[in-house]
Structure 1
Amino acid sequence: MDRTLKALSLLLSYPSTELQEAMPEIAAVLARDARIEASHRAALQTLTENLAQGDIYALQEGYVMLFDRSRSLSLNLFEHVHGESRDRGGAMVSLIETYREGGVEPATSELPDHLPVLLEFLSMRPFAEAQDILADAAHILDALGTRLERRESGYADVFKALSQLSGTQPDAEALTEMLAQPDDDPTDLEALDAVWEETEVTFGPDPNGGCPQVRDMLAGMDAPTTPLNRSA
């Protein structure tokens, strides 16, 4: 199991008191991974400290404003590729089949292309396979990181780490095209309502909302792992 990918998945999950309690362990995992540059590891330590010590309600509100009320920062990756086209549904089905072939049955209220869900799955795959998938999404990861950096959000450092783990440079043309799209206004509730009306398709059960996979993900944090500086 790749504990770094699991840790990064947890950092991008909806904040909870349970997750706050796990931040010291998450921070320790990231601090030991030499695949991530020292400057990025230091920035991630700051993020984990802020998430551990912050007021839970303020953290949750900030998370929703960033990732749920801003379509340009959506953690549902296919939204940045397919938007609301029919191709997105086919891509979702294909991704679910990929999970199942890997021995994972999605059991979360989130869509299968939700980045924390994908990272949790990749943490259980050989790193070379995980790296290939991250490389395919490199332009999306870099665009999200750049947008978060513009908003001076510590979450930007998670995407910097993921870009580094991908082992590749993003497609410059695709990245430029993504960044040319205007950022939406998370305070525009009318626009948000329109988005919700468009996206009513769900995949899998919806147990109590939030990010219900967090408990299972935390349970695996102390599972035996291969060395963190492995290359495959």
Structure 2
Amino acid sequence: MPSDAVFYQAAALCLTYPDDDFVARLPLLREAAPQLREFTDHATVTPPQELAAHYVQVFDFKNRHSLYLSWWQDGDTRRRGMSLVRFKEIYQAYGMEFTGEELPDFLPAVLEFTARTGNTDLLTEHRDCLEQLRCRLTDFGTPYASVLRVVCDTLPTVCQGPRW
């Protein structure tokens, strides 16, 4: 099992809707992924209904905080369909069938894929998207920004060379 598997799985859980299962897992998440303590400490002291309402406010009202990685590159265009197919093909190449209710580019799904396979290529490929999301969440003042910050910190920086 990859060394960062527990961290990526914990990050995936932190970025999903905070239902009763999430609340029940919080003590385990705090212990298993100390890198995420800033967020898990906040979630631990926040009433569950308030936590759920905040999640909806942050992620469900506008694409400005979209957890769908292809949206950041393709927007709502036809090109996005091909990007979604590519995510599914990558999952299938690792013997995984994507069956979730969400689209295959949903960040928690990508984090779970990374946890199970140890392959950070999808995250690294979408590093710019993750950084944009992190910046917007930081500007919005949400504790979810700390989860994105730590995920980004685990990825190599993408050097694009000099701009002339």
The structural deviation recorded for 1:14 is: 0.4
Identify which of 4, 25, 39 aligns with 1:22.
25
Instruction: Please give the alpha-carbon distance, in whole angstroms, between the structure 1 residues aligned to 2:104 and 2:87.
Output: 7
Corresponding residue of 1:159: 148
**Structure 1 residue runs of 4 or more that deviate by more than 4 Å after TM superposition:** 169-172
Does the Cα contact within 8 Å between 1:67 and 1:73 map onto a contact in 2?
Answer: yes
Instruction: Please give the alpha-carbon distance, in whole angstroms, between the structure 1 residues aligned to 2:116 and 2:149.
Output: 21
Instruction: Please give the alpha-carbon distance, in whole angstroms, between the structure 2 residues aligned to 1:100 and 1:52.
Output: 36
Aligned-residue identity in percent:
28
Query: SS of 1:124's equivalent?
Result: helix
Corresponding residue of 1:74: 66
2:132 is aligned with 1:143: yes
Corresponding residue of 2:99: 107
The structural deviation recorded for 1:149 is: 1.0
Does the Cα contact within 8 Å between 1:149 and 1:156 map onto a contact in 2?
Answer: yes
**Residue correspondence of structure 1 range 174-185 to structure 2 within 5 A:** none
- What is the number of residues matched between the two proteins? 158
Query: SS of 1:166's equivalent?
Result: coil
Normalised by the length of structure 1, the TM-score is 0.64
2:40 is aligned with 1:48: yes
Which one-letter code corresponds to 2:28 in the other structure? E
2:83 is aligned with 1:91: yes
Instruction: Please give the alpha-carbon distance, in whole angstroms, between the structure 1 residues aligned to 2:33 and 2:44.
Output: 15
Which one-letter code corresponds to 2:147 in the other structure? V
Note the alpha carbon deviations across 1:122-163, whole angstroms, 9 max, x for none. Answer: 11113xx31x32221111111111111112111111111111
Does the Cα contact within 8 Å between 2:91 and 2:97 map onto a contact in 1?
Answer: yes
Show structure 2 runs of 5+ residues with no match. Answer: none
Does the Cα contact within 8 Å between 1:21 and 1:52 map onto a contact in 2?
Answer: no
2:9 is aligned with 1:6: yes
Whose helix proportion is higher, 1 or 2?
Answer: 2
Identify which of 108, 125, 128 aligns with 2:117.
125
The structural deviation recorded for 1:92 is: 0.7
Show structure 1 runs of 5+ residues with no match. Answer: 32-40, 173-232
Query: SS of 2:88's equivalent?
Result: helix
Instruction: Please give the alpha-carbon distance, in whole angstroms, between the structure 2 residues aligned to 1:166 and 1:4.
Output: 13
Normalised by the length of structure 2, the TM-score is 0.89
Root-mean-square deviation (CA), in Å? 1.7
Instruction: Please give the alpha-carbon distance, in whole angstroms, between the structure 2 residues aligned to 1:156 and 1:171.
Output: 25
Which one-letter code corresponds to 2:78 in the other structure? R
Note the alpha carbon deviations across 1:49-83, whole angstroms, 9 max, x for none. Answer: 22133222211111111111121101011111111
